[in-house]
Amino acid sequence: MIYHPINKNNPLVLASISPRRKAILKQIGIPFEPAKSTIEETICGETQPADIACHIATRKVESVQHAYKNRWILGADTIVVINKTIFGKPKNPGECRAMLHLLKGKTHDVITGFCIHDPGKKLVHLEAVMTKVKTKELSDIEIEAYINTDEPFGKAGAYAIQGIGSFMIEKINGSYTNVVGLPVCEVINALITCGALKDFPPTE
């Protein structure tokens, strides 16, 4: 079945209220409407990090799609992985401190799983994108000062590459926007392939 593509009168539904993901979609000019997911972002029974991120992304879409008829819906979830340890979002200063101590001076993986459901509520795309990130050695003073900015809270891995946290990033290999929370190149390609976008950048 052919569905109407995303436009100003038929905006994409983003199954997230993440300020980072909203900022990315706004920056690239895709009309969208944020929808708050009701699920807990807890580690599921999946064993592979990419599968975990994709599973949570899919659950986010499923939690909001009942409220949206005939709409394209995008879900995404970002996790940080080092030495098989998976980091989500820290809930307190202690968790921030533990994460940053494990990440300092090492290379870790940032994985975003994303999915697209068509207006018929069918899953039409599921993908995980990985970026490797190298952080510098961090002193205890730097870690405590960063925690005191409050920026680490609500961020996978306890840092924001697009914010103050950029001071600790030595090198990345892969998509920068993936680390922020949404791999733009891959998402755009997927939206075009499944018919959600006619073209990009738009020609009309």
* Residues with catalytic roles: 77
User: C-alpha distances in angstroms, 175 versus 48, 72, 111, 180?
Assistant: 20, 24, 10, 9
The amino acid occupying position 87 is F
Answer whether the bond into residue 201 is a cis peptide, omega within 30°.
yes
Distance of CA 134 to the CA centre of its chain: 19
The amino acid occupying position 157 is G
Q: DSSP 3-state assignment of 184?
A: helix
